[in-house]
A and B are shown apart, each in its own frame.
Chain A
Amino acid sequence: MVKKALALLAIIPILLLPSGCWDRREIEDLLLVGAIIFGKSNVSDTEQYRVSFITTKPSSSGGEQVGMSEEGGAAQAAMQWVASSYGPTLEEAMLKFSIRSPRYIYLAHNRIIILEETVAKEGISEVVDFLVRAEDTRLRNYVLVIKEDISDLLKSIPEFEDILAGELFSILETSIGEGDYHHPSDLNIIAQGILTKGQDPWAPVVETFSADQAAGRDAGRSVIIKGTALFRADKLVGYLDAEETQQFLLLKGLANTGIYYIDSNGEKISYRYEYARTRRKLAVKDGQLNVDYDITLKGLLQEVHFFSNLSKAEIDSLERALSVRASTALLETINRCKELGSDALGIGRLIHARKPEIWKEYSKNWYSIYPEIDINVNVKVQITGTALGSKPIVPKASE
């Protein structure tokens, strides 16, 4: 009897436990941040951090209907809430949101981090350190750099997703296999780039553009992701454009698919590689260190606008021409990286990994040695097929 009574008594505190705790937070009390934008700006003559959030409005996250629009479709309540805050330190700028937002700031579902040029040029290590240290942000947050003023970005309207952060995330995730215009870079890669000697960070660039200008409407702007921002240690030094980015990804071994075109008989031929393999080698010749890139591309001739039976000899000469075209483009990009003084390609890290004894010498003043390193590119383009089942449609006169 006593035992039973004791057991019952023991159940009471256990029952009290599930009924509540110190840290109860209902989901509708959370401000679900989707993207954080870091910048710097002058506020009352002192330079301060500007932190902007793109968030999902909690009350509307269920997507409730607020009325019927003229076309009869259900218009949805504004899904997105955008706000900026200023502070001398990041923590203070972050905390200031609490005086405006009636919800708890919740970063665990954040997916995008955007760095403004102002902060990127001065150095991103403080921002990265803050984010790595913050207990709820994830290292899988994609990092983007924005060149222009962010006011356009904050005004831009997502075209497919509920909020802009979701739109950027989807672009990054889906278009990666469609063409080498960009490759996502996340907080882990950026932080490693800041910390590791001989490996600099890089991140894709986000731009806004007005899609409706031609139509004369004052509609919002849309976002695109294109090009790559290169850093030196933690400072932004320059950008690669879309074409250079394709070469950059090939050199990094991150390429999926891309297009090269050449002129043949005054007509453009485009070649789309669907397979790319990048091998890097180090060779020491007469005390001179050479880095050799061996890149193999396999793909199809996608567009041919003239009639030809494409004989073996012709394919061979096309392959040669394409190889030359590709290696020139690749070398140009390598030189561009060298000019900017950013080792985002990780040449130093390659030397460290393969030839540690040489790296011991080089690491002391790597940034002055890096532009002098001989980098050779050896491209092997293979045309596996013509992708043409029939004769191309060519106007009568040209035949």
Chain B
Amino acid sequence: MQKYRISGGQLIGMMFWTIMGTAIISLPVLIGHHAPRDAWAAAVLFTIGGIGLSLIVGALANRFPRRDFVVYSQQVLGTWMGKLLILAFLVWLFHTMGFVLWQIANFISLSLLPKTPIVAIMAILLLPSVYVVFDGIESLSRCSQVIFLPTIIIIYLLYLMLIPDVNLENLLPIFGDGAANIFRASITPLAWAGEIMFVVFLAPFLNKAGNTIKYPVITMVLIGFGGVINELFYTAVFGLLRQHSSNPFYSLIRYIRPTAFVERYDILFVTINLLGNFVKLSVFLYIFVLGLSQLMGMKSHRPLTLPSAAALLLSTNYLVNSPNELVAFLDTVFPLYTIPLLYGLPALVLLVAAIRRIK
């Protein structure tokens, strides 16, 4: 059977929503806590960090074209060291996937279905992802490609409609929050940007091997641009009130001035949120089962899909209790282990490979 190859555009579509999916929900809250007026600066730092990592990831993928990260990292770092680090990464992935699932489910539960048990919502959210992941990279990449463009267009249309409510004075004084606060605000976003390293798992599927660097860089530039625009709008429209909104993007969409023929735009947010996070969840789940199957030397990832999803569904209930707890965790603990893992792992493999001259 001919193995399906994904195109660069599909990779960008996948990675865009993988990072943006929950970044658009939780990052503004975290950034707003520390640097409400200069939030856009944190988004710029996020982009710089992401592009830096993209260069490492791209170089790594170019060095080992058509080869799986799980396999060559063991070759480079030694079997046991490699296995241990991949395992640590998979544990991180599973844990983070739990947050992602809980966050989307919690949003739906709060805003749309307050009485429905959250497990039921999570199960329904997981079902399409499980189906796509079971089908493999072809379904996943095509879904992402289809979702990518319409969602982006809708987001920017929504921003256009908010322009009358923009008060640019809310952004002044520039850098008034202080450099320390801006750097503090950008720590969790930097951890988020680390997710661009997933490209090393997806690069072997690319149709043009050895030319990988530009795709993660383009993805990061797109996300960074979107992020800066988002943060500018949150601050310009809500000022200091953005610190008090648990979901600034949703508040923003609900704030659009109703017109005679369209009064409410909430549904567009729900659509974007569900579609984007479907991509995010699917990519996370796919990389998890792919990594696990390669680590265990299995021929196919398929047998692992359903058990992993079931395990995720069961454990998510014990991972998170409340939105405030999650925000506090993401703000303080999460970046502490995420940044070393996501930035360190590919950098370490590249460094050791360069020293040991392994190709």
Provide the residues of chain B in CB contact with A352, threshold 8 Å: 172-173, 176
- B residues near A, CB below 8 A? 110-117, 120, 124, 169, 172-173, 176, 237-241, 243-245, 251, 254-258
A132: interface (CB < 8 Å): yes
Provide the residues of chain B in CB contact with A356, threshold 8 Å: 173, 176
Q: Is the beta-carbon distance between A140 and B254 smaller than 8 angstroms? A: yes
> Taking CB as reference atom, which chain B residue is nearest A355?
B173
Q: Is the beta-carbon distance between A195 and B169 smaller than 8 angstroms? A: no
Instruction: Give the CA-CA distance A135 to B241 in the complex, in Å.
Output: 15
Provide the residues of chain B in CB contact with A353, threshold 8 Å: 169, 172-173
Q: Is the beta-carbon distance between B116 and A191 smaller than 8 angstroms? A: no
Contact of B239 among A22, A140, A195, A354 (CB under 8 A): A195
A361: interface (CB < 8 Å): no
Main secondary structure of the interface of A (DSSP, over half): helix
The total of chain A residues at the interface (CB under 8 A) is 20
Contact of B255 among A21, A139, A192, A195 (CB under 8 A): A139
Q: How far is the CB of B41 from chain A (nearest CB, A)?
A: 15
Provide the residues of chain A in CB contact with B114, threshold 8 Å: 23
Instruction: Give the CA-CA distance A140 to B254 in the complex, in Å.
Output: 8
Instruction: Give the CA-CA distance A195 to B244 in the complex, in Å.
Output: 10
A48: interface (CB < 8 Å): no
> Taking CB as reference atom, which chain A residue is nearest B252?
A139
- Would A349 and B237 be within 8 Å (CB), given that A21-B116, A23-B113, A139-B251 are in contact? no
A8: interface (CB < 8 Å): no
Instruction: Give the CA-CA distance A196 to B117 in the complex, in Å.
Output: 39
Q: Return 22 A-B CB contacts under 8 Å, by A number.
A: A17-B124, A21-B113, A21-B116, A22-B117, A23-B112, A23-B113, A23-B114, A23-B116, A132-B245, A139-B254, A140-B256, A140-B258, A188-B237, A188-B241, A188-B255, A192-B239, A195-B239, A195-B244, A196-B239, A352-B173, A352-B176, A354-B173
Provide the residues of chain A in CB contact with B237, threshold 8 Å: 188
Q: How far is the CB of A95 from chain B (nearest CB, A)?
A: 15
Instruction: Give the CA-CA distance A350 to B243 in the complex, in Å.
Output: 21
A159-191 to B contact mask, C-beta < 8 Å, 1/0: 000000000000000000000000000001001
Q: Is the beta-carbon distance between A354 and B172 smaller than 8 angstroms? A: yes
Instruction: Give the CA-CA distance A96 to B176 in the complex, in Å.
Output: 45
Q: Is the beta-carbon distance between B124 and A195 smaller than 8 angstroms? A: no
> Taking CB as reference atom, which chain B residue is nearest A14?
B127
Q: How far is the CB of A381 from chain B (nearest CB, A)?
A: 26
A138: interface (CB < 8 Å): yes
Provide the residues of chain A in CB contact with B172, threshold 8 Å: 352-354
The 10 closest A-B pairs by CB, nearest first: A353-B172, A356-B173, A22-B116, A192-B239, A195-B240, A22-B115, A23-B113, A191-B241, A23-B115, A138-B254
Q: How far is the CB of A138 from chain B (nearest CB, A)?
A: 5
Instruction: Give the CA-CA distance A349 to B167 in the complex, in Å.
Output: 13
